[in-house]
Structure 1
C-alpha cells in the first residue's frame, strides 16, 4: 500500500484498543470479576483499499518494531535535510567584517 501511494496519495493507519466482544459479554465478564483481554486493532487505507489486522498483547512489541521499520523505510519526505555548518558561515562573516550581533549606533 505504501509503494502504490509513494508518488501521489496518502495512507492512513489507525490503531485502536479492542476486546472483540460485544458490550453484553463485557458486562458479564466485569460483573463476574474476570479480566478482559484487550487486543490492538490496526487498520490501513489508501481510500481505495482497506486492510486490517488484530494483534494480541503478547505480540504487540514485535508488531511495533516491524511497523516502525516499515514507516522509516517509506516516509522519505520526513528525512533530515543537509544543512550548512554554522561555524563556516560565522567564520565567513568575520572575514568580511560584518556581524549579526552588532547594534547600530544612535546619533
Structure 2
C-alpha cells in the first residue's frame, strides 16, 4: 500500500476511476487515526497533551491500493475536491425511476375497489 499526500492521492484516485470506467470498481474506505500507538496515546492523555486525530482514507481497485492521511486543517479542502471527483466519475449510475404520484394513487384506488367488490361478492354467496 502506498501512502500519498492528499493532492497526489486525489490525482491517483481520478486515474483509478478512469481505468475502471468500462469494467471494475473502486472501493474507498475511511477510518479515524492518530498516527500514534496506543501506548503513546495513553501517555499523552495522562500528561494532558492534546491528541490530534486524522482521517485515514484508503482506495483500491483490486490491483492497486493507495492511502492518505488528512488532518483537521485540510479536511474541508480535501472533502470538496473528493466530492467533485465523485460527482464527475459516477456516470454509470442509473437514474431512479419515479412513479407519478397521481398515477400511483389512482392505481391504488382501483385495486382497493376491486378487492372490495370481490369481498362483497363472496359475502353475498
Normalization by structure 1: what TM-score? 0.74
Residue of structure 2 equivalent to 1:48:
63
Structure 2 counterpart of 1:3, from 4, 18, 22: 18
Equivalent residue number for residue 37 of structure 1:
52
Instruction: Map residues 1-107 of structure 1 onto 2, 5 A cutoff.
Output: 1-80=16-95
In the comparison of the two structures, how many residue pairs are matched?
102
Please, which runs of 5 or more residues in structure 2 have no aligned partner?
1-15, 104-109
Q: Give the Cα separation in 1 of the matches to 2:39 and 2:111.
A: 69
Residue segments in structure 1 that go unaligned for 5+ positions in a row: 89-98
Question: Relative contact order, CA 8 A, sep 6+: which one is greater?
Answer: 2
* Cα distance between partner residues in 2 of 1:19 and 1:100: 59
Partner of 2:81, secondary structure, is helix
Higher helix share: 2
RMSD: 2.6
CA distance in 2, matches of 1:23, 1:82: 49
How far is 1:62 from its partner?
Answer: 1.0
Runs of 4+ in 1 over 3 A off after TM superposition: 81-88, 99-107
Aligned to 2:8: none
- Which piece of structure 1 moves more, 69-78 or 21-30? 69-78
